[in-house]
Structure 1
Amino acid sequence: MPDDGGTQPFRTEITAGMRVEWDVPITMDDGVVLRADVFRPVTDAPVPVIMTYGPYAKGLPFERGYPSAWEAMARDHPDTVAGTSNTYQNWEVVDPEKWVPHGYACVRVDSRGTGRSPGRVDPFSPRETQDFHDCVEWAGTRDWSSGRVGLNGISYYAINQWQVASRRPPHLAAICPWEGASDFYRDGSYQGGIRSTFWEHWYDMQVKTVQYGVGETGGRNPNTGQLICGDEALTPAELAANRTDLGADIAAHPFYDAYHRERSADWDAIDVPVLSCGNWGGQGLHLRGNVEGFVRAASRAKWLEMHGHAHWPLFYTDYGVDLQRRFFDRYLKDEANGWEDRPAVQLQIRHVDATFTPRGEDAWPLPSTRWTKLYLDAAGPSLLTEGAASDGTAGFAALGDGVEFSTPPLTEQTEITGPLAAKLFVSSSTTDADLFLVVRVFSPDDEEVVFQGALDPHTPIAQGWLRASHRRLDPVLSTAHRPYHPHEAAEPLEPGTVYELDIEILPTCLVVPAGYRIALQVRGKDYVHPGPSARLSNLKNDLTGCGPFLHNDDRDRMAGTYDGHTTVHTGGAHASYLLLPVIPER
């Protein structure tokens, strides 16, 4: 059991109607002392705890660390910054001024090696998960704690909830992972077996910049005057020695092996109440894990909520805070607030004008789903409700923009909500090929319908990926609407031979009006929106349609293997199709 660092001092003050304890020490089993900020009611009556553990530095204000995201949130969602001084608003964690008055303690822990916690940085590692487990137990055994700890937060602070819940800390009572992956391999590192550069770039921009020991370059906490990243100033060599090389680690593990398994959820072990909140536009990292977690977690008390908008704002809105608080009131306070009577699936149904209609459902996929196959026809190239009568081929440069298959204008309004998939018959001139699938929708005047996604303002309707040599399916976990690939080994292609590929396309939701077209683009590289790009201050690359979730590292897509010619076969014995989850009108 971790202790509180013995006699190590920490500062306490009463401010904004809260008792705030800055830099509280929590000693881990190996002697490393992590640091936490605790915000709690002034009364000493025991209260439940909302905890986060992560690498973004508890002393770095949201507004200072992520200015472009803050400005957009405050402009577009004014309720996020209302009713609070915003003094303690931090990136992707709860605002204590909106929780402490309702009888909660909020605990923020700087993860090992970041902010004011010393040690070696190794994101999502078993060491971090053990630290998080022990921090939960520390919080659950304080005099001011009721003994019930809930986890809440966005992205990183959602991902590691799945991990630590798999360890079953005794004082963990409920989790609310908001837009966070749960499978380290499939959800973000190797989508369809194709390596994403996201984690490597994210590490440079958002973790190394607040590593313990960067000194004055990390800035000072405006609330305490302390250095945000610890009182030591380490040399560049010392800093490098105190962190893993995350990009190299991921590149060294191109298949789903022990490295990825120990950084992913153990679904059978997760039995606490779960409120999993995902984003329709979070295709690169903030969608699949939330749906998979809802479907596969062993908990008998679990709910799925799906919404749109940008990645961070909705969490802080009145809608988001009320949703989270009602869930935790039920499972951390035993309040009889009718939470269990809510539908298991709570959807924000998306429309082409970027408005949303709330709707409850009983299960995922939706029980009313009418699974609809649209067959590819190379002669069009078209999407047809019946298979093409004759064989056809559509080829493209394997690293190019590919070929697009489209329906005629729809004759009636059509809702598509749920997981998608494609079965493609493909041949390659080389021993492998990467397939990038993009589901697109076009208005009657041929303008593409895109949305503000989790990060990119021009996010398409749905995306899927598959490296052809990873085509083997898991026969137990695969379904027609969610092909599941073990990604345990590569099975090279015989050039010119036709192979049957089942490709997962991540879930989506859209009510498509009559007169609009649905298209499937089969590409050899990441989708690029033809309009203007955008930028966020915390990201390396411009946002051109896929946000920071790109697959453009030449070391992963080597010349001679991935730069040949790819052919899609249609019709006859090669009846390639797109599977859509069509929801009947009510």
Structure 2
Amino acid sequence: MQLTKLLPLAFTVAIALAPPSWAEPVASGVPGMIFDHDVPVTMTDGVQLRVNIYRPEKPGHYPVLMLMGPYGKDTSMADAPAYKTSWAKLIAKYPDLCKKSSCRYIRFEAPDPERWVANGYIVIHADVRGAGASPGVLDPFSPRETEDYATLITWAARQPWSSGKVGLFGTSFQAINQYQVAALQPEGLAAILPWEGAFDQYREIAYYGGLLNVAWEYWWTHQVVPNQNGNAETPLVDSINGGKDTGTALSPEILKQNRVDPVEAFAKHPFDGAYYHQRTPDGGRITVPLLDVANWTDWSTEGYRAAASKQKWLRIQTGDHLTPFYSEESIALQKRFFDHFLKGENNGWEKEPRVAVQVRRPDGATWRYASAWPLPGTRWEKWYLDAATSSMGSGLPTAAPAQKSYPGLGDGLTFTSAPFETETEFTGPFGVRLWVSSSTADMDIFAAVRLIDPQGRDVTFMGNSDPNVPLGLGYLRVSQRAVDPAKSTEYALFHPHLGSAPMTPGQMYPVDVEFTEPTSIVIPKGYRLALTVQGKDFGYGPGASTVHAKDYDLPNSNNSGLFFAAHPNRNPAVYGGTDTVATGGEHASYLLLPRITAP
């Protein structure tokens, strides 16, 4: 089933119209809130998924906020081994969080239902098929899972306590699947608010620049499989009734049959084809009002760019993946958006700037508001590389031809600018054009754009999932260097990733490194930019000379972002050759940067 196709007529008639028939609500312990626990909802194939419903005690018709995920709708962040660190960071950041709520119902990457029920909303949290109390095969982001979500949305819109309008809400996984189901245009869907979620299943999840992303194996093993339906050995505890909330115990053999390991599936599909097309939405069919909250480090402006919605907004922030979602500023923003589109309140939301970006500085960040993305007036500058001097600058287009080589699995090459003479801002999409050759039939490029302070230390920032990230990370498997001009822009060349074209050893090739996210930085006088090009994962190891941006006093880590490539498809005999970068003359290599000038 293609994700972009309309749902069959059977979908609309399979949803029960009768009043709910589940047991009496569980005592919520929260004044004014009714809690319906483990409510069964029948899918189009007869499988019953389980949902939790939090609703106002006062009778009426209320708009619905919904999310569907694999992490356990009854799993407390404070107690689950996989989430304890996240919870500790959240409470450290907002020590008064549990004074505004009992915090009993906060789940990983999910809104606190108490804060929303008190504001006149119903919150529905569903376990995806194959997770928690929902039986079936656990297959993340599959067409079957997306159809389930569409069924749940329309079911919720037709319930007697519903106003008929449903908004989708949540972060990460619960943002990614918002884009997917919005393309199906289910009855009742009125607005979506994907908070830091990927859009393109091949380029933002499975493969970065054609390199398999094995970081998902950790996510799968530690955060998803423990909550698989039927997993009697789960360490997760049902915070509502105690015990386990993973249904009837199943044998290890059946459990394995009932789940699809995403990294194994990705490895079987190395190129962008039908498998990913079924999981990447058709942006032209996403027409509901949309607020996309992205992060400078991982995920994602692509949903905003692709969606056909006439009412869409983009907000790009800095900082970690979880805590900003729960800030008072963020909750106020979220409520204004949903109050306008689900309740019809005339609260001035339509006057909200279409784009808001948090511009980074070494000593903090400030918000800038604009009418479009990329920012109006952006000027793309080419900062040319010089292999002879390991330097780069906007004034080097006529540098003499030069080459420099490095071991494919070594530390690579670094090109550094002169100290900036005046404060300079770069905010927006960016890229790297290189002329390269290899002693083997292929090579991998890992590119890191870095900020260096006057003392020669790397300035790092808090990323989506890593406490130390540079200004940007890009990737490309050179055998997948082909570009589709029809889908490319000056600042973002599109790699179709439809097949592999091996390199001829020793031959030079022009390649454009793939960056999935834009960047933002105001560079103070005396600071420098650096570009590192190597054939392995970039990271700051122990003892690295780094200084953290303001307010991020965190330990060093060895990998940056949501990607790493340590996998058997990285054959040292192929990717451990001698690689070469050429610069100057007919082999001009450069870093393309989005210059912002004062209005």
> Counterpart amino acid of 2:502?
P
- Tell me what 2:9 maps to: none
Q: 1:225 aligns with which of 218, 242, 245?
A: 242
How far apart are 1:8 and its partner, in Å?
5.2
Q: How many residues align?
A: 569
> Counterpart amino acid of 1:444?
P
For each residue in 1:91-144, what CA deviation from the matched residue of structure 2 results, as whole angstroms up to 9, or x when unmatched?
A: 011101111111100000000010000111000000000000101011111000
- Tell me what 2:459 maps to: 449
* Alpha-carbon distance change, 380 to 81 in structure 1, aligned in 2, over 3 angstroms: farther
- Tell me what 1:24 maps to: 39
How far apart are 1:218 and its partner, in Å?
4.1
For each residue in 1:401-443, what CA deviation from the matched residue of structure 2 results, as whole angstroms up to 9, or x when unmatched?
A: 1100010000010111101011111111111111011000100
- Say yes or no: does 1:409 pair with 2:426: no
* Alpha-carbon distance change, 261 to 5 in structure 1, aligned in 2, over 3 angstroms: farther
For each residue in 1:132-176, what CA deviation from the matched residue of structure 2 results, as whole angstroms up to 9, or x when unmatched?
A: 010101111100000000001000000000100111112100001
- Tell me what 2:7 maps to: none
- Tell me what 1:439 maps to: 449
- Tell me what 1:521 maps to: 532
- Misfit runs of 4+, over 6 Å: none
For each residue in 1:339-373, what CA deviation from the matched residue of structure 2 results, as whole angstroms up to 9, or x when unmatched?
A: 111111011111112x2211101111111212111
* Alpha-carbon distance change, 219 to 374 in structure 1, aligned in 2, over 3 angstroms: closer
How far apart are 1:547 and its partner, in Å?
4.3
Alignment partners' CA distance in 1, 2:398 and 2:388: 9
Alignment partners' CA distance in 2, 1:153 and 1:206: 16
SS at match of 2:90: helix
- Tell me what 1:576 maps to: 589
Stretches of structure 2 that go unaligned for 5 or more consecutive residues are 1-13, 545-555
Q: 2:316 aligns with which of 298, 306, 312?
A: 306
SS at match of 1:560: helix
Q: 1:510 aligns with which of 478, 499, 521?
A: 521
Alignment partners' CA distance in 2, 1:92 and 1:208: 17
Q: 2:408 aligns with which of 382, 391, 398?
A: 398
- Counterparts of 1:132-211 in structure 2, within 5 Å, are 132-211=149-228
TM, length-normalised to structure 2: 0.92
SS at match of 1:528: coil
- Say yes or no: does 1:545 pair with 2:567: no
How far apart are 1:242 and its partner, in Å?
1.1
TM, length-normalised to structure 1: 0.94
Alignment partners' CA distance in 1, 2:187 and 2:130: 26
> Counterpart amino acid of 1:562?
Y
* Alpha-carbon distance change, 62 to 158 in structure 1, aligned in 2, over 3 angstroms: same
How far apart are 1:81 and its partner, in Å?
3.9
- Tell me what 1:365 maps to: 374
SS at match of 2:338: helix
Range with greater deviation from structure 2 (112-121 or 210-219):
210-219
- Tell me what 2:476 maps to: 466
Is the CA contact (8 Å cut-off) linking 1:528 and 1:545 kept in structure 2?
yes
Alignment partners' CA distance in 1, 2:158 and 2:593: 49
SS at match of 2:518: strand
Q: 1:430 aligns with which of 419, 433, 440?
A: 440
For each residue in 1:543-569, what CA deviation from the matched residue of structure 2 results, as whole angstroms up to 9, or x when unmatched?
A: 42314521111x211232211111000
SS at match of 1:573: helix
* Alpha-carbon distance change, 166 to 410 in structure 1, aligned in 2, over 3 angstroms: same
- Tell me what 1:250 maps to: 266
Is the CA contact (8 Å cut-off) linking 2:62 and 2:163 kept in structure 1?
yes
* Alpha-carbon distance change, 195 to 14 in structure 1, aligned in 2, over 3 angstroms: closer
* Alpha-carbon distance change, 59 to 5 in structure 1, aligned in 2, over 3 angstroms: farther
Q: RMSD in angstroms over aligned alpha carbons?
A: 1.6
Q: 1:557 aligns with which of 570, 575, 595?
A: 570
> Counterpart amino acid of 2:93?
D
Alignment partners' CA distance in 1, 2:323 and 2:471: 20
Is the CA contact (8 Å cut-off) linking 1:345 and 1:362 kept in structure 2?
yes
Alignment partners' CA distance in 1, 2:479 and 2:397: 26
Alignment partners' CA distance in 2, 1:410 and 1:511: 11
Is the CA contact (8 Å cut-off) linking 1:5 and 1:33 kept in structure 2?
no
Is the CA contact (8 Å cut-off) linking 2:66 and 2:125 kept in structure 1?
yes
- Tell me what 2:333 maps to: 323
Range with greater deviation from structure 2 (103-112 or 472-481):
472-481
SS at match of 1:321: helix
How far apart are 1:263 and its partner, in Å?
1.1
- Say yes or no: does 1:566 pair with 2:576: no
Alignment partners' CA distance in 2, 1:576 and 1:80: 50
Range with greater deviation from structure 2 (72-81 or 390-399):
72-81
Is the CA contact (8 Å cut-off) linking 2:208 and 2:514 kept in structure 1?
no
Q: 2:358 aligns with which of 326, 348, 361?
A: 348
How far apart are 1:395 and its partner, in Å?
1.1
How far apart are 1:217 and its partner, in Å?
2.9
Is the CA contact (8 Å cut-off) linking 2:297 and 2:561 kept in structure 1?
no
Is the CA contact (8 Å cut-off) linking 1:149 and 1:173 kept in structure 2?
yes
Alignment partners' CA distance in 2, 1:107 and 1:2: 16
Q: 1:38 aligns with which of 48, 53, 64?
A: 53
- Counterparts of 1:75-114 in structure 2, within 5 Å, are 75-114=92-131
Alignment partners' CA distance in 1, 2:543 and 2:194: 32
- Tell me what 1:539 maps to: none
